[in-house]
Amino acid sequence: MIIVMHPEATSEEVAQIVERLQDLGADIHITSDGGRTVVSGTTETRLADEAPWASLPGVERVVPVLRGGRRVSRHFKPDDTVVDVMDVTIGGGSLTVVAGPCAIESREQMMGTARLVAAAGAAMIRGDAFKPRTSPYAFQGLGKAGLEILAEVREETGLPVVAEVLDPRDVDLVASYADVVRIGTRNMSNQALLREVGRQPKPVMLKRGRASTIEEWIDAAEYIHNEGNARIVLVERGIRGFDSSTRNTLDVSAVPLVKLATHLPVMVDPSHAAGRRDIVASLALAAVAAGADGVMIDVHPRPSEAMVDGPQAMLPKEFETLMRDLQAVASVLRPDPSG
């Protein structure tokens, strides 16, 4: 919660607000904004319900904020966090595109796809060696052999690579090969895994759970941050809905909401939201228009033969077209100040 004091509020009135917040066990942060004193308080309880804050002497207005998140919250750190991965920047007004197949199936498949998406302008390459599958009999990934292929891809293209980790015991292994460690939607609430990735220094992409609220998503990021790793990128990938027309429902509203509530960069995965390639481009463009710092796109040279998520994977030519459209939209919404 943020309490904005009147410009003429006395120091005693400010002190009264601070004292009441401290009595509730809140972390206090005091700043000045346009001649007004701004007092923010964060605690596990909903402070707005604890007292009639707006009626207290000297208070101009009260701004409730999401409960979830402390160090990742905007009022703890007003300036945007920018995550640097080799020569790639995520956040800070840039538009970062991550592309590649959902799963590493072979060296030929991964290397060929990586070359194509790199040539089209992707800034980072994705490909998973460990795959969480609904059925235990489905393809689970190549494991360490897949990570070795991913390292070859980085050597070939010069671009950073992103890979998912499923098990706390595999964090060091995945981080030793990947430039960005990703936590998928099924593991967003795996606190042991969140803590473990927070203890290693590589940037972390944290996908939103299929049925999680924005507050729960932010709280998950807080687990990572609390272990010392502040290089976190939030990834919206759609939430489970009742309409079967798409695999999930892309929550575009989550992009501006999370950017208001936190200082972390936000990306969108329209491929997993759609589950069908014919609307991935439209969702990606909507994400950029909503203010996303980047998008993650599934691309496969032969989607009909893909072992994982073929129906949602774009063909390389379709991805080339999308890249041009994304750059066109970004140039309008985020013009280069130097130009």
Model confidence over 160-187: pLDDT tens digits?
999 999 999 999 999 999 999 999 999 9
Return the pLDDT at 312. 93
Question: Do the beta carbons of residue 217 and residue 241 sit within 8 Å?
Answer: no
Query: Token pair of 158, please?
Result: 């010069």
Residue 66 has pLDDT above 80, yes or no: no
Question: How would residue 43 be classed by pLDDT, with cut points 50, 70 and 90?
Answer: low
Taking residues 76-89, report their average pLDDT: 91
Taking residues 288-300, report their average pLDDT: 96
Say what the pTM is. Answer: 0.81
Residue 15 has pLDDT above 80, yes or no: yes
Q: What is the mean pLDDT of the chain?
A: 90
Domain ranges in the chain with CATH number 3.30.70.1140? 2-63
CA distances (Å), origin 106, targets 11, 126, 147, 171, 319? 67, 14, 11, 22, 21
Return the pLDDT at 32. 74
Taking residues 268-295, report their average pLDDT: 97
Return the pLDDT at 34. 65
Taking residues 6-18, report their average pLDDT: 92
Query: To the nearest whole percent, how much of the chain has pLDDT over 90?
Result: 70
Taking residues 232-241, report their average pLDDT: 96
Q: Which candidate, 245, 231, 257, 336, places its Cα nearest to that of 283?
A: 245
Question: Do the beta carbons of residue 198 and residue 232 sit within 8 Å?
Answer: no
Return the pLDDT at 136. 81
Return the pLDDT at 133. 76
Return the pLDDT at 45. 57
What fold does the segment set 2-63 form as a domain?
Alpha-Beta Plaits (3.30.70)
Return the pLDDT at 283. 98
Domain ranges in the chain with CATH number 3.20.20.70? 83-333
Return the pLDDT at 234. 98
Question: Do the beta carbons of residue 217 and residue 192 sit within 8 Å?
Answer: no
Least confident of 6-10, 118-122, 190-194: 6-10
Question: How would residue 44 be classed by pLDDT, with cut points 50, 70 and 90?
Answer: low
Residue 87 has pLDDT above 70, yes or no: yes
Residue 233 has pLDDT above 80, yes or no: yes
Residue 131 has pLDDT above 50, yes or no: yes
Residue 156 has pLDDT above 70, yes or no: yes
Sign of CA dihedral 30, 36, 42, 45: positive
What fold does the segment set 83-333 form as a domain?
TIM Barrel (3.20.20)
Residue 41 has pLDDT above 90, yes or no: no
End-to-end Cα, the chain, rounded Å: 39
CA distances (Å), origin 222, targets 66, 93, 190, 228, 234? 13, 23, 13, 10, 11
β-pairing, 83-85 with 88-90? antiparallel
Taking residues 245-251, report their average pLDDT: 95
Residue 49 has pLDDT above 60, yes or no: no
Question: How would residue 339 be classed by pLDDT, with cut points 50, 70 and 90?
Answer: very low
Question: How would residue 337 be classed by pLDDT, with cut points 50, 70 and 90?
Answer: very low
